Amino acid sequence: MQFKSMVISNVEVSPGYFRMRMTAPQELATSAPGQFVMLKVNDAIDPLLRRPFGLFDVGTFSAEYAGCGTQCYCEVLYKVVGKGTRILSALHHGDLVDLLVPLGKGFDFGPAGEEKVLVGGGVGLAPLYYLAKELIARGDKVRLFAGGRTRDDILCITEFERLGVETYVATDDGTLGESGFVTQVLERHLGGGMRIFACGPTPMLSAVARMAQGHDVPCQVSMEAYMACGVGACLGCVMKGANHTEQTPDYRCVCKDGPVFDSFDLQWS
């Protein structure tokens, strides 16, 4: 659904990374972690297309928010990379943005009581916070493996810890946590009875998918792709499914079939 949303706050949480809270339609309160929003950053023709962002958090106020007709809010955590996100980073309390919500398929939590392992690279941590919140509420044990190039890319880690999540951090340059890739840390902790949820750069997801297969651990990945429509109409966001060949094409729409996929359903080469 389309919704005219009001920005509540927009804070730089680390150099180049912002966390924005905005009003949301009441329907979003029942969204699934892993689903995403398409955000029109202004009313101008440029940039024409909406930009996709994962749901970092969803919540409700105890009363309707200052005449906005809703008690629901959502948050996105984003990195400034180009024109759209630069415009977004300049928005303030009271500014209006146009939202399409909720889109795509979210994470499948799996059986309660099983250990849940979240793996996030940089801003890939974004959809994992909402997921962690829901998993902890169910009583699951949750561990987070967070990786980035440098300490500035490790985002909102204390927010996860406040939920009761056990965290492990690795940075390429060793400025926070272990030095090296987060996948190296993850490999030392993999075993039976767990389920992996990962979001981040494709090379990281590919490494996680390979490890999960090697250890026979169920694994879901949240993928990114360039998106125009966000609803399965333009086929601009397709990627190859596990059974894809030149003769028998097997394409998956990231916006409609995903963005969350079982890692075994995708082709990683």
Ligand X SMILES: Cc1cc2nc3c(=O)[nH]c(=O)nc-3n(C[C@H](O)[C@H](O)[C@H](O)COP(=O)(O)OP(=O)(O)OC[C@H]3O[C@@H](n4cnc5c(N)ncnc54)[C@H](O)[C@@H]3O)c2cc1C
Instruction: Decide if residue 238 touches ligand X (CB under 6 A).
Output: no
Stretch in the footprint of ligand X (CB under 6 A) among 4-12, 133-141, 190-198, 218-226: 218-226
Residue 29 sits at φ, ψ, to 5 deg, of -60, -20
Instruction: Decide if residue 81 touches ligand FES (CB under 6 A).
Output: no
Instruction: Decide if residue 84 touches ligand FES (CB under 6 A).
Output: no
Instruction: Decide if residue 217 touches ligand X (CB under 6 A).
Output: no
Report in angstroms the alpha-carbon separations of 67 from 4, 73, 94, 184.
13, 13, 12, 50
Nearest residue (CB) to ligand X, 79 versus 240: 79
Instruction: Decide if residue 40 touches ligand X (CB under 6 A).
Output: no
Instruction: Decide if residue 234 touches ligand FES (CB under 6 A).
Output: yes
Q: Tell me the site size for ligand FES, rule CB under 6 A.
A: 12
Stretch in the footprint of ligand X (CB under 6 A) among 58-66, 143-151, 168-176, 222-230: 222-230
Residue choice 33, 54, 200, 230 for contact with ligand FES (CB under 6 A): 230
Instruction: Decide if residue 233 touches ligand FES (CB under 6 A).
Output: yes
The number of C-alpha atoms within 13 Å of 15 and in the hemisphere containing its C-beta is: 3
Nearest residue (CB) to ligand FES, 34 versus 177: 34
Nearest alpha carbon to residue 110 among 220, 266, 261, 241: 220
Instruction: Decide if residue 85 touches ligand X (CB under 6 A).
Output: yes
Stretch in the footprint of ligand FES (CB under 6 A) among 61-69, 105-113, 233-241, 258-266: 233-241
Residue choice 13, 66, 81, 235 for contact with ligand X (CB under 6 A): 81
